[in-house]
Amino acid sequence: MEKEKKEKPSLSAPLYHLEEKKVSSVNLEPEIFGLKINPDLVYQVAMGQLANRRKPIAHTKDRSEVRGGGRKPWRQKGTGRARHGSIRSPLWKGGGVTFGPRKEKEYKKEIPKKMRKKALLMVLSAKAQKNFLIVLDSLRIEKPKTKSIKEIIDQLKEKIESFTGKSILIALPNPDKKIILSARNIPHLATLQAKDLNCLDLLSFKYLVLPEESIEVIKKTFLKK
């Protein structure tokens, strides 16, 4: 007899309607929002992404880059002083630096695609399990105004007791210029397309706000067909 396949438990999350007071529910994909967290994997991917974003700025000049020192400071013998060939020597004040930081240094790390995807789904699962995931029926504004986004955040504060309104990432189903322009002046609030979600950006914000359409985008982008 063939073994019966175990059905994965269904997941759901509150679905908030901005224009109405009612709160319904939306089904969540267990393969995206129901995974067990592996902290070591998430840490490894997040550190790799931080390294890849790092831009080396500190740069010291070695003796070949320091200006001057084209001639010998004094003759080799007969002066009673130590012998020197150039004032660009690291022994001199204003000379080159030995073993100093260089901008040519590479900090980039290769992160396998499967690891990046797995870590992302784990962080999404953690957001859902800890009630840091907020799903909206829709997210639209008429004009690009910061006040419009603030009003939406205030509405969510009234509906959700645990929602503080600080450190929010909004994942949009498509690039909505009105929302992007309205949100950019609010501190600790950022917008990102759902297809561009990654582990590091999710960890940088406490709450993840998803319009219902964004869930479908995440399914198409990060789940195998």
Does residue 101 share a domain with residue 39? no
Tell me the average confidence (pLDDT) per consecutive run of 10 residues in the chain, 225 residues long: 54 86 86 94 96 92 89 92 93 92 90 95 95 92 92 89 88 93 93 95 95 93 78
Does residue 122 share a domain with residue 24? yes
Does residue 178 share a domain with residue 101? no
The domain tally of the chain equals 2
Strands (E), the chain: 11-16, 23-28, 133-136, 168-172, 189-193, 207-211
Does residue 112 share a domain with residue 93? no
pLDDT for the residue 217 = 94
Report yes or no on 92 lying in a domain. yes
Its pTM stands at: 0.81
Report yes or no on 72 lying in a domain. yes
pLDDT for the residue 7 = 56
pLDDT for the residue 224 = 67
pLDDT for the residue 6 = 54
pLDDT for the residue 106 = 87
Burial of 83 (0-12, 13-18, 19+ CB in 10 A): exposed
Report yes or no on 102 lying in a domain. yes
Report yes or no on 4 lying in a domain. no
Beta strands 23-28 and 168-172: pairing type?
unpaired
Query: What's the domain range around 209?
Result: 11-54+108-222
Does residue 218 share a domain with residue 208? yes
Does residue 203 share a domain with residue 100? no
Beta strands 133-136 and 11-16: pairing type?
parallel
pLDDT for the residue 150 = 93
Does residue 201 share a domain with residue 134? yes
Residue that terminates a domain, selected from 72, 89, 106: 106
Does residue 127 share a domain with residue 44? yes
Does residue 80 share a domain with residue 47? no
Does residue 73 share a domain with residue 40? no
